[in-house]
Amino acid sequence: MSALKILVIPGSLRSGSLNARLAAAAAYQFAQAGAEVSRISLGDFPLPIYDGDLQARSGVPKNAVNLKRMIGAHHGVLIVTPEYNASVPPLVKNTIDWVSRVQEAHETRGQVFRGRAFAIAAATESRLGGTRSLAALRTILSACQAMVIPSQLALPFASEAYDDMDRLKHPADIEALGALVRQLIDVSQRMM
């Protein structure tokens, strides 16, 4: 069997992003568990705000196609999203919207969301840890007919969660992330 490939996507471009740090901690745990991990930045796939006229005129932007291919080259995907006003940030929603419009040869539209497992996590400075953002993201991915694993991680008070090396410092957080990592690996393997 080929190595299990996991893609980790932070949903923030901000330097010092709490979610990019959680994505890094997750990537570390996936690697420790034996998976081949890629961690990307959506800054490498800049996209205009979705506009049907733009798509009609010029097609789906190349970056959406490239990101779709990147997702398609992995067996499992973890999206680590901030929470903005009780939902997902426009960066995350807009990216999913564009990728859901990609249809390459011999594919149905948005096919990349089917046939692989997705996991979701969030980090915020507040007490709720992004649970409302996770609920929204689960709904959006489910609308794309993605298989979103039941385990998820909402990391509250995230500015206090990391040590100087950007590793999670609280055992409970490490264990919660570990449970998500194990479940995504398990479900992704079964879908290979």
Catalog residues that contact ligand FMN under the rule CB under 6 A: 12, 14, 17-19, 82-86, 124-126, 128, 130
* Smaller CB separation from ligand FMN, 75 or 93: 93
Give the shortest CB-180-to-ligand FMN separation in angstroms: 17
Helix (H) or strand (E) holding 37: strand 36-39
Q: Is 96 helix (H, G, I), strand (E, B) or coil?
A: helix
* Smaller CB separation from ligand FMN, 62 or 167: 167
* Smaller CB separation from ligand FMN, 106 or 127: 127
168 phi/psi in degrees, rounded to 5 = -60, 135
* Smaller CB separation from ligand FMN, 43 or 59: 43
Give the shortest CB-128-to-ligand FMN separation in angstroms: 6
Residues 179, 192: Cα–Cα separation, whole Å: 20
* Smaller CB separation from ligand FMN, 18 or 42: 18
Give the shortest CB-139-to-ligand FMN separation in angstroms: 16
Residues 53, 59: Cα–Cα separation, whole Å: 9
> 189, exposed or middle or buried, with CB in 10 Å at 0-12, 13-18, 19+?
middle
Give the shortest CB-113-to-ligand FMN separation in angstroms: 23
Written as six digits, the tokens of 21 are: 């740090």
Give the shortest CB-164-to-ligand FMN separation in angstroms: 18
Residues 97, 138: Cα–Cα separation, whole Å: 14
